[in-house]
Amino acid sequence: MVAILWAVPLLGEVYRLSDGSSLEGSPVSANERGVVFRLPDGRFSDRVPWDRLAQESLRELAKQPRFARYAEPYVFEEENVKPTKPPLPKPQPVEGRLSRPDKPSVWGGLWGSPLGLVVLLALYAANLYAAYEVSIFRAQPAVLVCGLAAVCPVIPQVVFLAMPTRIPPEEAESQAAAEAAAAPALGAGLHLVREAPSGAATAAAAQPTVFKRGEYAFNRRFFETRFSAFFGMIRRDKSQVMILKTSKQQYTVNRITRITGTDMHVEVQKGAAIEEIPISFTEIVEVELRPSGGR
């Protein structure tokens, strides 16, 4: 476009540029490409592009009707300042709020609720039942073991389990008396055997040995000492057979598989089959030990 000239003001002004420098003079001509200033010494400046002028200079030029239409497109509107939000009101203390209960311990929580009391009672009952079972297993007085477990749980059961099975004094005495009574008879029998002919000795050896309740105490020690050949996975000595008689039935025992303080598990012959059954010591009426060829 054709440049337009205007009257030159008498006094010059200072205009700031976008690179931080300044230009002193008066605008005399403007078009779309820029503006020309008349410097204080009377010379004219090169045409200054609009984008080189700072915003404050552009606003000053936009106020003048002669340069407004060229300067206004390059003037940026100031960003609207967002209104500050009013501060939030301070929270007021709430009256009547329920206080949170303190976190109790495990035992405190169990004692403080009905369900916890039921769990504790169940554990205490299980502790007494375990003590009763230990007393039977180790042949100890149930009152003693259960009484200690009632005062101090768990520890008495461990102690009595570590102890050997107790043999009642009356059973030990009866067993010792039976052994003492059998000793002279055994000596006399051996003496007669030495003097008897070989045929009579064979007939005496073939006689079965019978142990009856009342004469002997049937317990764990009795079977472990007198029938040790019947223990083990494989019986190496099969020259004798054990006949167990209970109040209900009679069993032919091949071997003893397990034994505790109250009963034992035996392997019995039932026809052509072999079966393992438990037999309590209190059920046994008589034990007979006979040679494997005897009837």
Question: Contact, 71 vs 61, CB < 8 A?
Answer: yes
Does domain 4-74 match CATH 2.30.30? yes
Alpha carbons 23 and 293: distance in angstroms, whole number: 139
- Which pLDDT does position 66 carry in this prediction? 86
Alpha carbons 45 and 23: distance in angstroms, whole number: 9
- Which pLDDT does position 126 carry in this prediction? 93
Q: Would the pTM of this model clear 0.75, i.e. be above it?
A: no
- Which pLDDT does position 191 carry in this prediction? 46
By the 10 Å C-beta count (0-12 exposed, 13-18 middle, 19+ buried), 288 is classed as: middle
Does domain 208-291 match CATH 1.10.3470? no
- Which pLDDT does position 105 carry in this prediction? 63
Look-up: residue for tokens 């009101």? Answer: 89
- Which pLDDT does position 18 carry in this prediction? 83
User: Does residue 168 sit in helix, strand or coil?
Assistant: coil
Q: Give the closest residue to 50 by CA, choosing from 28, 78, 72.
A: 72
Question: CB-side exposure of 129: number of CA atoms within 13 Å?
Answer: 6
- Which pLDDT does position 248 carry in this prediction? 85
- The reply to whether 4-74 and 208-291 are identical in fold is yes
Domain segments of the chain as ranges: 4-74, 106-162, 208-291
The radius of gyration of the chain's CA atoms, rounded to the nearest angstrom, is: 59
Tens of pLDDT, residue by residue, the chain (295 residues): 333 333 444 456 888 888 888 888 888 888 888 888 888 888 888 888 988 888 888 888 888 888 888 888 888 876 554 556 777 888 877 776 666 656 666 666 667 677 778 887 888 899 999 989 888 878 888 888 899 988 888 898 899 888 887 765 655 555 555 555 545 544 444 443 344 444 444 444 567 889 998 888 889 988 888 888 888 777 777 778 888 899 888 888 888 988 998 899 888 877 777 888 898 988 899 998 888 764 4
